[in-house]
Amino acid sequence: MRKVRMNVQGRVQGVGFRYTTKMLADQLEIHGAVWNEADGSVGIEANGTEEAMEKFIQGVKASPSPAGHVTYLDVTDDPMIKERDTFEVTFGY
């Protein structure tokens, strides 16, 4: 099980980015949460298999939202992230 924390920057707020990220996570059986940050970026915590996580990271990098555009993606492995059994769109952490 791989656990990652991501910070996504670019045109990622107001374009359906969180909801399309959830759709991608659900397709790949990734669990976690996605939320908007006050600075205009999007935060993600996710856990899943190594193979699914690689696909998820690449999908986020390519922007799951057709109206979105990712200019920067920071991915940090963090074994301390809480394991979840769903993927949720939240309103901040």
CATH of the domain at 14: 3.30.70.100
Q: Is 18 a catalytic residue?
A: yes
pLDDT at 45 over 90: yes
pLDDT beyond 60 at 93? no
Give the confidence band of 85 by pLDDT, cuts at 50, 70, 90: very high
For residue 61, give its domain range: 2-89
- Compute the distance between CA of residue 48 and CA of residue 30 in angstroms, rounded to an integer: 5
Question: pTM above the 0.85 mark?
Answer: yes
How confident is the model at residue 67, as a pLDDT?
96
b/e per residue 31-43 (b: at least 16 CB within 10 A): bbbbebeeeebbb
Q: Lowest mean pLDDT: which of 8-17, 24-33, 40-49, 84-93? A: 84-93
Catalytic status, residue 11: no
- From the candidates 5, 7, 11, 36, give the one annotated as an active-site residue: 36
Q: Say how far apart CA 81 and CA 8 lie, in whole Å.
A: 17
Residues 21 and 36: their CA atoms lie apart, in Å, by 12
Give the active site residue among 2, 5, 7, 18: 18
Q: How many domains does the chain have?
A: 1
By CB neighbour count within 10 A (0-12 exposed, 13-18 middle, 19+ buried), where does 85 fall?
exposed
